Amino acid sequence: RVSMSHLQRGLAKALAATGRWSRREANRMTADARVCVNGVQVSNPAARVRQSDRVTVDGELTPLEVAPPRLWRFHKPDGLITTASDPQGRPTVFASLPGWLPRVLSVGRLDLRSEGLLLLTNSGPLARMLELPSNAFERKYRALVCTGQERGVTGAMLRAMGDGFGAARVRIRMLVSQLAPERSLPVSPHLSPSLPISPHLSPS
């Protein structure tokens, strides 16, 4: 086992890696002179620290232990916005989470009126790995569409969408599409237990 106590990292990065703060919050705390390293006040977020250093935030001892990456599945209901804070005062996903959950990030986001699976993680690198298009993680969506004589979606319409269409300057193409039997979908929020994370995470 390799000891991490002598490896150096930037102070703000090390604080964020504990899972208690974001990098932005860690930068702000350091700039506001709230952080001390080995009894010395440090105002430079890039100052190099080791895991063995004694770091305090507002006088409270903060061990620089890296939080293990964790992943939660959250069923986002209609009416919650996927952001940490909303200038318009609309309810957010993060405000609805239980208090025992650590600070988490969303992997991507769902629109205000969208509902469905939203992945949450305590690891910024993991979130970025899952979000980057270059990593080619396959995403599967189920869309609830309007039915009826005027708004009905037919197989011919879905086949036409398979050729691709433009949305917000992004070209979208459906790889597989089919009409599923109509049935009720869950609408209440649900947070699952955290999932085990392996070095090579495979999408379901």
Which of 113, 135, 117 minimizes the C-alpha distance to 126?
A: 135
User: How is the beta sheet containing 35-37 ordered, strand by strand?
Assistant: 40-41, 35-37, 55-57, 60-61
Whether the CB-CB separation of 19 and 125 falls below 8 Å is answered with: no
Rg of the chain taking only CA atoms, in angstroms: 22
- Report d(CA 137, CA 199) in Å as an integer: 15
Which of 58, 78, 111, 163 does the annotation list as catalytic? Answer: 111
Stated as kind and residue range, the H or E segment containing 23 is: helix 23-31
Which of 38, 180, 9, 196 minimizes the C-alpha distance to 121?
A: 196
Burial of 49 (0-12, 13-18, 19+ CB in 10 A): buried
- Report d(CA 75, CA 106) in Å as an integer: 12
Per the annotation, the verdict on 32 as an active-site residue is no
Residues designated catalytic:
111
